[in-house]
Amino acid sequence: MLLNIEQQKQLRQLLNAGAKVAGESLKTMLDSNVSLSIPVISAASSPTDNTLGLEKALADIGMLYFSGDISGRAFLLILQDKADEMTTLLTGEAPDDAQFHETKKAMVSEVANIIVNGIIGSMSNQLQKNIDFSPPHFSSESPEVVYQQQGISAEELALLANIEFNVEEHNLEGKIIVVFDHQSFKSLMDAVDELSLEMI
Amino acid sequence: MSRILIIDDSSFQRGMVRRIVQESGYETIEASNGKDGLAMIDSEDIDCILLDLVMPEMTGVEVLEQLQAQHCSVPVIVVSADIQESTHDICRQLGALSIINKPVKKNELNTVLTEALGDKAEVSDVT
């Protein structure tokens, strides 16, 4: 692992605070209680993704790049049938409506935008950094393919934070994955260390 | 009836905001990017602008810079997923009247719209 125990703890706390912001946003959008897992942080070398059975299944994915003092990519992954349900819930459109797929793409992209901004923006505020975000991109792939396409591999060791969300009332679930680029590790860890010193 | 310009590249987000704004009795027009939005501000009669920040071609910050350079008097409310304090500071420095975060909450949007429209908001009350 690239981080010492204290750094892992600080980073998890930062991500957890961000996840709470993202959870509040989801709660507002869906008008339902949302439960979120504690972020799991790992060095991302060829991540496998078994917890939601997502590794082979097709998922609807919203992805954003972030850059600046800290850089990386973040994904919102929702199994396709769950994304359909979420689209209907938020827009009232049915899957057989002519524009449904376009509506779903826009919905997944925007929900990813809001959630990722919540997580990373919260970290940025706490660390007093500046981060720029790309517009969200949509794809329908298996997460395995996305990992490969995005170069999350053993060669490009990155830090991966994995957060799961569940909306019990509507039987919705999904996953948020944040990949911090190897190049931004140093600035991220310096900022985390600074924050730790301020808290002493 | 007050006329609100919504500038956002997300059709989903425009739809969500449109619903709230129209339910509150305002008329809406829409642009899906900053360039089209600026063209509409020049050519249309607009009472308030709801502006997204992260958009392809021209960002919301670039739109604010243009409006400031033109001494545009139409009030701008930034509606963004970006919660960074540094971003909010930049928007305020560039003349944004208010900044609200996505997802948009009906009460919050109506409050800032009423503030932005002043006397014009009163004629738009529809119940």
Question: Is residue A23 less than 8 Å (CB to CB) from chain B?
Answer: no
Chain B CB contacts of A134 below 8 Å:
54
Predicted confidence at residue A154, as pLDDT, reads 46
Region A174-179 average pLDDT = 86
User: pLDDT category, A8, cuts 50, 70, 90?
Assistant: confident
Predicted confidence at residue B100, as pLDDT, reads 97
What percent of chain A stands above pLDDT 70?
84
User: pLDDT category, A148, cuts 50, 70, 90?
Assistant: low
| SS3 assignment, position B30 | strand
Query: Which range among A24-33, A173-182, B15-24, B29-38 shows the weakest confidence by mean pLDDT?
Result: A173-182
What percent of chain A stands above pLDDT 90?
40
Closest CA–CA distance from residue A45 to any residue of chain B (Å): 29
- Residue spans of beta strands (DSSP E) within chain B: 3-7, 27-31, 48-51, 76-80, 98-101
Chain B CB contacts of A131 below 8 Å:
84
Tens-digit pLDDT profile for residues A66-82: 999 889 889 899 999 99
Mean pLDDT score of chain A = 83
Predicted confidence at residue A162, as pLDDT, reads 76
| Domain coordinates in residue numbering, chain A | 5-198
> Rounded distance, CA B47 to CA B116, Å?
9
> Rounded distance, CA B78 to CA B88, Å?
9
Residue A51 has pLDDT above 50, yes or no: no
Predicted confidence at residue A52, as pLDDT, reads 44
**CB of B102 within 8 A of CB of A28?**
no
**B56: nearest CB among A90, A113, A135:** A135
**CB of A134 within 8 A of CB of A69?**
no
**A114: nearest CB among B56, B85, B103:** B103
Predicted confidence at residue A55, as pLDDT, reads 60
- Interface contacts (A, B; CB < 8 Å): 60
**DSSP code string of A43-80:** EESS----TTSTTTS-EEEEEEEEEESS-EEEEEEEEH
Predicted confidence at residue A155, as pLDDT, reads 43
Closest CA–CA distance from residue A150 to any residue of chain B (Å): 21
Chain-chain contact of B86 with A130 (C-beta, under 8 angstroms)? yes
> Rounded distance, CA B102 to CA B17, Å?
10
Q: Which residues pair with B112 in a beta bridge?
A: none
Predicted confidence at residue B79, as pLDDT, reads 98
Mean pLDDT by 10 residues, chain B (127 residues): 96 96 97 96 97 95 98 97 97 98 96 92 53
- Residue spans of beta strands (DSSP E) within chain A: 35-36, 40-44, 59-68, 72-79, 131-133, 137-141, 158-167, 172-180
* Residues recorded for chain B: 127
- Quick one: A5-198 is in which CATH superfamily? CheC-like (3.40.1550.10)
Tens-digit pLDDT profile for residues A100-128: 999 999 999 999 999 999 999 999 999 99
Question: Is residue A88 less than 8 Å (CB to CB) from chain B?
Answer: no
Query: What's the burial of A96, exposed, middle or buried (CB within 10 Å: 0-12/13-18/19+)?
Result: exposed
Question: Which residue of A lies nearest to B57 if distances are taken between CA atoms?
Answer: A135
Chain A CB contacts of B105 below 8 Å:
28
